[in-house]
Every structure is written in C-alpha cells, then in structure tokens.
Structure 1
C-alpha cells in the first residue's frame, strides 16, 4: 500500500495530516510532524493539555535560551555581533552570539560535567579567526568566583581545534585567555599552597590562593612561562578579608587576578581585584615594572582615576589604558561602575584621568564586567553581574544597548566581526495550519544566509514547488500552500546561491 492508502486503523495518513497542527521534533537537520491516528471504534479519550509551542520549531532543544532585549537600537555602530555567556537558574548555558536585534546567531550548550561557559570572544590562532571560551565549574570563598576548567578553541566552522589545560595538577581559571602571535595561550591558575597567615591574623597552617600566570604552547600543551604572584606581590597589598571561623583553613584569595594582556612593548599587564591595583610585569624576568592603584602604587594617581574591585586592564591603540572599574565588591567604594580611561606617564610617574563611560542607569556591578575598545574608536562594555551591555561613541554617549533577562549574568560581553560557516545541515521544523504547511528553517551559526527557500512535492527527488522568504532572525518561517508529502529548505546567500539544504522531510503522523 502507498502512503496515500488507508491504513489498517481506517484513517488515512492524509486525513490525519490535514487535521493536525502539531509541532516539529528536530534533530540533526531533520524535522517531523507528529500526529496520532485514533481508531474509530476506540472510546473517546480526554485530550492531554497541549504543550506550549517551541520557541524555535526547527530547534526545540534551544527552548531554554534566554531572550536578549535591545533597548537602544543600533545607530551608526561598529560592525559585528555581540558575544555573551548567559547563566542563571534553568537557563541554557553556553557561548551565545546575537545580532543587532538581539536574535541568536549561534549557541552551543555547555557539555556535562561543565556547568558554565565564561569569556566568549573572537581571537586569532595561527593567523586565522577563532572563537574561544572557558568551560568548567566555579567555586571560591567569600563569594569570589574561582574556576576549575579548561579553554576551548573552535574554527570558523565551529569545529574544535584545541582544549587548553593548565600544566601541573591544577585547572585553568576562567577569568581570561589571551592567544599570542607565537601560538601560545596566557591564562591564570588559582593554586592553593600551604602558607603561614599568622601575620594577617590567620592560622599558621593556613592556605593561600597563589595567582599563577601560565603560558602554554597550544599545539603541544607544553608550559613555556610561569609567573607566581606570591614571589612578587605581598599579602599586605590586599583589601580582601581572611576567611574566618570554620572557613579559616580555606584558601585565602588575597590577589584575585582577573585579566591578562600584552602591552605595546610586549610586557605583561594584569588586573588584581583584591589589591585594587593593576600591574606591568617584565615578560622575561617576571619583575614588577610598576603597579598602579592600591596600597603600594608606584605612580601617583589623580583622584578621578582611582579605582577599586576592578576588571579587564587593557592598553588602547592611542597609548592610554582602560579598565572596568566596578567600584564595588566586598565593599562599596563608588555609587556606580564605569569604563575608565587614563594616561600613564612612566617618566613623570603619574596617572591622569582621560574619560569615563557610564551606563545610562548608572549601574553598579559588584562582580564581573569588561571594557573594550572598538576599531572605530568607540567602546563596548559588558556590565557583568548586571546583565547589560552598551556600545559607546568616542565621546562616551550610548549608541547601542541591550540586556539579558533580569537574574541572568554574562561575565563579559564583547562585540566583534565574525564569519561563521556551519558544518552541519540547516534544521527544519514542520507543522500544518489552515490547510497549509508552515516550514520553520534555521542554521545555527551560519552567518552568510540572507534568504530561505522551501521546495515541496510528492517524492524526495521530485520537489518542484518553491517558496522564498528573507531571513528573519534565527528562525524563518515559510508558508507552503496545501499539504505536500515532502519538504526541504535551502539556505541562500546574497547572490541566490545555495549554501546548504536540509534533508527532504516527510510530513509524518
């Protein structure tokens, strides 16, 4: 019997199809329309409550992805996408790219046993653009996050190139990863070491979290450089209180390093949240060239340039420096957080205020956050614990802004150009509505799609009817007149060339 024949239940496949309006179940680029053919001699049954429709019918596995709301539409902004790492409650966690409308471009769920992704950004490895992020678990004392995990590098097709692990027994901390032109990776390790804390009022048999900066050759995993903070930064620089009571023997996080970068002269720059200071370290000897801020600043800092509990210390193209000044953490030192820019005169040993960029709501972010220069001279800020991001003109005014749902967080937020070419098939979800078939198409991560085409027919190899629609966000829905037997969707570029197609999916019961 053919598909058009009456089944043994006495109900034809087509009869059920025309009366059905169920959602698609999709996996690996295939979609299915689900229905149920009841026997005519069966007693009537109470219908189960209808499940809510999937957010993305072509990808129901992404139902838990949080919405990104754009509050200030893009206005003469720098090109590129926004890179986030949402995490909160039952929200899907993983690296997320969204466009200027807040629509997802690419998402990857963090695999078990990792619990969160952190610091998702575009970098270059072997002179090619790549995506990097950290995944693992986060613990710590005093509410300060300390990571146990590893970094991931994927190429433009989202294929994994490498996983970067710390040398030795410890795991990589989440706060930052820098890929260097030499093919190495710089990142932090929080190494718990036995330490006499009695001088600070703690136990003589205490434990210290030593901030260890490692440089690892990505290709081989070989350690090529290591710098230990306790050999250069003393405990009396710290503003962090010692663990007390039953927690007295937990590691004392006196430094809490949270960024690393390269200065124009090749030396190392890093931020230490718990000393309220940023440091320049000699690339070969490890000697501290200077520290700015905190209790032992080597340079005189003007009042407007003072900062506390900060993140993300960077050198800018014009020679100035920037940080994300949280202004709050274990204590509150400032009513609002800000992106701070200052000038350093190493000869005069002075630090001079240049500018600050503030959220229109004057947000205070006690944890996380970043502040980055954009190619056109603007800046991009991720507000950390506050789930907001803003793009600022060179004069500091906001030209683009958005946020994740309240209660969510993204450790950092970046904006960058990215061309992604997904290596899998487009996904297709099908449903019947009003006597027509609605085909929902998406292709997670492929950035060259500008239009979708749906073809349909009675056999997989004979699909003639064609309907086209401009891409409209992560998922585009096309209406196919009538109820064909098979549907396939094709992703098209600007020139109308086919970039990829789904499998030919039968409309099943």
Structure 2
C-alpha cells in the first residue's frame, strides 16, 4: 500500500468514526422515542371509562412482561373536576411491573377523574385513563344491613353467640359451651387426614365453633368462637384460615393454633366471607360485595329508581397488603346477566360470587351463583377469557343436558378437569350433585366426565362444597341438608358420612392432610354429667344438657313416672368429648312429671322434668 493509499484510508476513518457516533446517538434517540410512543401498560384499575368507582380507590397500572419501565422514568398526574389536582403516593411494588397511586384523600362523589402516566425525560404521556366515581355513597348502616340480609338468606339467621344460659344449669355458667353434635353414619376406609368445619348454629343453644375432627369422631382441635365463622381450612403454606363475622375479615393460625395474621380487602371494600386463597407466591385472593345505588327503571321495566344493587369485586393482595389486581363485575358483566333474579326489587344481588381458583395457566376462574356462571379471567389484564353456563354460555355441554345452576366451589383438579358443586336450584325435580367437567378451550366444549348424585336425592338451595382428593376420592358437603358431609371413592361408593345436630350446618367442610395436635384441647369436661334440663318446668319444649369427657356411645330416653318408655332421643350414637344439648318436644304428652335418662360408658344418669300445659 502506498503512502497515498494510507492517507486516503486514514482520511476516511475519521468520518466513519463520527458517523458511528451519530448512528449510535440516532439509534438511542429512536429507541427512546419508541419506548415513549409505545403503551406498555396492559392493565389498569379502574379500567378506562369505568363508572361506579369507589371514592377510596387506588389507581393500579401494570406493564407487559417485556417492558423495562421503572418508576424512576415516570411520574403521575391525577386530576378531578375542574382540573382539581389530586395528590398522593406513587410507588412500585415487588414484582417491578405494578405501579400504584394511593390518593391522600377521598375522591368526590360523582367526580370525573383523569390519570396520566408521564415520562419525566420528555413530558410525553405514556398512558391515560378516565373514570367516574359513584354518584351516591350508600350509608354504611344500610350497606351492612343489605349484606346481613344476603348472608341470612344464604346461611340462616343464626343466634346470639353471647346468649347467657341461666346459672341454675349446672356446668353452664357464664355463657356455657354447647358444641355442635356430630353423628357419623358411615365410616368405611375413608381418606387419611382430618375434617375441618365451622358450624352455623340456627338453633337457640349451640355455640359457634371451629373444629378439626378425626375419622373416628374425636376432635383433634376445637375452639369456641365469639361469633359464627366460615370457610375454616388449610392453605398451601400451612396456614389455617377462617372468616369471622365480628371483625369482617379472615384470620390465619399457624401450626400451634396461634392467630398470626389477618387478611382483608383494600380500597375501602368490605371483605366477603365466601372464599380466600393463598397462592403459591404468597399473594392472597379475596372478594367483596359492592353495594351501589342504581336507577333500575332504566334497565328493566318496573325497576326501582333507587335500587341497592350488589356487584362483585375480586382482589389480589400482596404480602405488603397492597391491592395489586382488582376485577369488578361492573366493568365486565351486565346486571341483566342474572339468572332468575327479580331485578325489580329494591335490593338486587345479580352476581353473588362464592368461589375462585387458579387455573394451570395462572389465570383465575370465578363462580357467580346468581348468574349460574363460571368465568375465566386473565390474571394479567382482567379481560374475560371464557364464560361457562348461564345466559352468556360460550360452551357446548356434552353428556350433561341439564347443565348446572346456582353452583358453588369451582376447582381445578390434578387431572386438568374442573369440579363444582351444582346446587341444582333449577333442576326439575330439584337435586344437588358434585360434577366434573373436561373443558376444551379450543373446541369450546364442556364434557361431563363424572358426577355424584346421592340416592335418594339431596337438595340444598344454598351453600355446599366439593373437592377431589389426592387418592381419587371426592368430598361433598351438603350445605342446608340433613346430611352434612359425604365422601365417595372413585366408584361412587360412600366411604364416610356424618351429620350435625338439628338446625346446625356448615358453609363448607374440608378434608385436609393435617394431624397436628394442639398442646391442649380446651372446653373438655372433667367428668360425665347429666345436668338439669332448661326450662324446667316447661311448656312444650325443653333442652337436656349433658357432658362427655371421653368419646363414647350415648343413649337418651324419656319415661313416664311409672317407668314406661315414651321416647328415644338418641339411640346409641357416638359422641366425642364435649358439652352437648338435646332438645325434647313433649308433643301430645299430658302435664306431669317425666324422667329422662342418659346411658353412656356403662353409666346411667337420671333426672326429673315437669311438663305444664
């Protein structure tokens, strides 16, 4: 190469280097503009153009998985009516993709809110949304009454848990402890583990308990509660949870039966009792019932102009108690999607969510009882993926022409199918069942592959639960039926069954792989005892109280004063340790003195009672 040639190439090298710098700068500028111009927000709560938004609502944004957007790159502008600036805390949560704006004060009612995510470097708007808060705020007392009425309709009215039993009744001073009675009617090689339940006492004597029962009827754990509890179960992380009415939230106990945490919905919503799910990542799924005042005359003929309409809220709460995902029925369902609900009433519950689960792909399935619908929603975007059952059914049912109605307890099984408890409110004749479907999301078919229907049929209009166990057995709890719980094997043979004392039920009953004994079991009597009945004298009906300090069979009979046997109230039925009550209805018996006798553990106990008419 000549000097000329070297000089020529040397002269070219400098311009090429400068061009490289210019191209690099141009690339960076173009890439930055591309990031500015591309909306990487895949989810927001509230959604754009949402209405009926709670005045205490946080604003949530979530980016797509490929975005590297960070909170350092942006700010947020939130304004209300007439450009009113709304200040608040703007922060990023642990997953690095979710950003939350927590306003310092409530929005105004009927206020139009605009929220904009803005790049700090350029001032350009990355994402914007508009929503409107509720026009009217329902009074808290009215809301609480509506929620109570909904619960009473589904679960029964319950009793006063703080009722004081008269001190004249030996052994039941200071409020007394009357446990729900369990009678096992079938026990033929059931699954391992224990039975979890919380009783709903619709009588006048039984106390509310959370209990864990062994297969032989003995109680592994029992705790009297100050108020009715619901949904007592174990989660994947080993915590036990139950919902308590007084506090309106779920409590969590560890393996020592110590309360260590509590869970409640955020954004100003009241926690609903129907379900809680602790996910693999430790986040919590909860639901809420949201009561809004709506002019139903604009929706259905004869509708109330100021109807109290209840919608459904689903929330995912992270381990720092932040709401990181929220889904509202107002945004995705129509009120007229309700199945056989009278929409002209003053109080309308069109959705009535009662269960959820996580599908294998991470998305959520929810059960809406009053729509007879199972809905799958995208856990990233909140969009509906499919709708099964009800007015908006997208599937062809195979092997199941009657479909399901007013269902509970949707679950994804290890086999990839779904089980649910079909209350069957619209079957003719009415009956309830446990049913399993294979869902084909491509062919859009729902094939019934299994069901359990008791013979004779059992029907419960509300409550109920079913779940497939690891060994292939299936549990069924029957809600408001006389039979409380049934477990069947893969051949539909009943291997375990029990019921409660009259007027006692349980919202859900679970079989759990749990055998951890507490250090002590409270409320176990020191000795057998048959105490005085109350009231005594009585007119028509009285209650007989007795204590059992070890598990044994019990017989209670009533005799006249001459020793003639008149009635058998309990006939050689097993009772675990505890304090019990058995009602006695005198029926056509004449006024006079009668004898009642308890036979248990080889011992006989006798008392007199006086009937006056």
Q: Same fold (TM over 0.5)?
A: yes
Distance 1:313 1:430, change over 3 A: closer
2:208 maps to which residue? 93
1:380 maps to which residue? 475
Map 1:483-498 → 2, pairs under 5 A = none
2:178 maps to which residue? 64
CA distance in 2 between partners of 1:336 and 1:366 (Å):
9
Deviation at 1:430, TM superposition (A): 5.2
CA distance in 1 between partners of 2:510 and 2:502 (Å):
19
Q: Secondary structure at the match of 1:344?
A: strand
Structure 1 position 401 matched with structure 2 position 516: no
2:462 maps to which residue? 367
Deviation at 1:359, TM superposition (A): 2.6
Query: Residue 84 of structure 1 contacts residue 95 of structure 1 at CA under 8 Å; is this kept in 2?
Result: yes
Measured against aligned partners, the alpha-carbon deviations of 1:180-213 in whole angstroms (never above 9, x if no partner) come to: 1121111110011233322123134433211000
Distance 1:213 1:86, change over 3 A: same
Query: Residue 289 of structure 2 contacts residue 313 of structure 2 at CA under 8 Å; is this kept in 1?
Result: yes
Structure 1 position 193 matched with structure 2 position 305: no
Map 1:33-72 → 2, pairs under 5 A = 51=169, 63-72=177-186
Q: What is the aligned counterpart of 2:353 among 231, 237, 257?
A: 257
Deviation at 1:85, TM superposition (A): 1.4
Q: What is the aligned counterpart of 1:241 among 327, 334, 341?
A: 341
Q: What is the aligned counterpart of 1:109 among 224, 233, 237?
A: 224
CA distance in 1 between partners of 2:277 and 2:470 (Å):
18
Map 1:119-130 → 2, pairs under 5 A = 119-125=231-237, 129-130=238-239
Structure 1 position 320 matched with structure 2 position 417: yes
1:220 maps to which residue? 320
CA distance in 2 between partners of 1:356 and 1:107 (Å):
33
Deviation at 1:371, TM superposition (A): 0.7
Q: What is the aligned counterpart of 2:197 among 69, 79, 84?
A: 84
Map 1:435-474 → 2, pairs under 5 A = 474=577
2:310 maps to which residue? 209
Q: Secondary structure at the match of 2:475?
A: strand
CA distance in 2 between partners of 1:354 and 1:313 (Å):
15
CA distance in 2 between partners of 1:221 and 1:310 (Å):
30
CA distance in 1 between partners of 2:459 and 2:522 (Å):
41
Structure 1 position 294 matched with structure 2 position 390: yes
1:391 maps to which residue? 487
CA distance in 2 between partners of 1:268 and 1:332 (Å):
28
Distance 1:60 1:333, change over 3 A: farther
Q: Which structure would you say has the larger RCO, counting Cα contacts within 8 Å and 6 or more residues apart?
A: 1
Q: Larger radius of gyration, structure 1 or 2?
A: 2
2:590 maps to which residue? none
Distance 1:212 1:428, change over 3 A: closer
Query: Residue 240 of structure 1 contacts residue 254 of structure 1 at CA under 8 Å; is this kept in 2?
Result: no
Q: What runs of 5+ residues in structure 2 fail to find an aligned partner?
A: 1-166, 530-547, 551-574, 579-613
Q: What runs of 5+ residues in structure 1 fail to find an aligned partner?
A: 1-48, 138-147, 434-439, 443-471, 476-509
Deviation at 1:441, TM superposition (A): 7.2
Q: Secondary structure at the match of 1:413?
A: strand
2:431 maps to which residue? 336
Query: Residue 293 of structure 1 contacts residue 307 of structure 1 at CA under 8 Å; is this kept in 2?
Result: yes
Distance 1:431 1:372, change over 3 A: closer
CA distance in 2 between partners of 1:276 and 1:153 (Å):
31
CA distance in 2 between partners of 1:308 and 1:368 (Å):
12
Query: Residue 68 of structure 1 contacts residue 103 of structure 1 at CA under 8 Å; is this kept in 2?
Result: no
CA distance in 2 between partners of 1:156 and 1:242 (Å):
46
Structure 1 position 151 matched with structure 2 position 250: yes
1:177 maps to which residue? 276
CA distance in 2 between partners of 1:53 and 1:192 (Å):
45
Normalised by the length of structure 2, the TM-score is 0.56
Q: Secondary structure at the match of 1:230?
A: helix
Deviation at 1:379, TM superposition (A): 0.6
Distance 1:410 1:430, change over 3 A: closer
Query: What do you get for the CA RMSD once the two structures are aligned?
Result: 3.0
Measured against aligned partners, the alpha-carbon deviations of 1:102-143 in whole angstroms (never above 9, x if no partner) come to: 2322122223xxx31111111133xxx121111116xxxxxx
1:8 maps to which residue? none
Q: How many residues align?
A: 367
Distance 1:99 1:205, change over 3 A: same
2:400 maps to which residue? 304
CA distance in 1 between partners of 2:260 and 2:524 (Å):
28
Distance 1:71 1:206, change over 3 A: same
Distance 1:207 1:53, change over 3 A: closer
Distance 1:422 1:275, change over 3 A: same
CA distance in 2 between partners of 1:186 and 1:338 (Å):
26
Map 1:20-39 → 2, pairs under 5 A = none
Deviation at 1:409, TM superposition (A): 1.1
Query: Residue 432 of structure 2 contacts residue 457 of structure 2 at CA under 8 Å; is this kept in 1?
Result: yes
Measured against aligned partners, the alpha-carbon deviations of 1:301-338 in whole angstroms (never above 9, x if no partner) come to: 1351600011011111111111100002xx56542100
Deviation at 1:474, TM superposition (A): 4.2
Deviation at 1:65, TM superposition (A): 0.3
CA distance in 2 between partners of 1:336 and 1:298 (Å):
25
Query: Residue 213 of structure 1 contacts residue 227 of structure 1 at CA under 8 Å; is this kept in 2?
Result: yes
Deviation at 1:166, TM superposition (A): 1.4
| Greater share of helix | 2
Normalised by the length of structure 1, the TM-score is 0.66
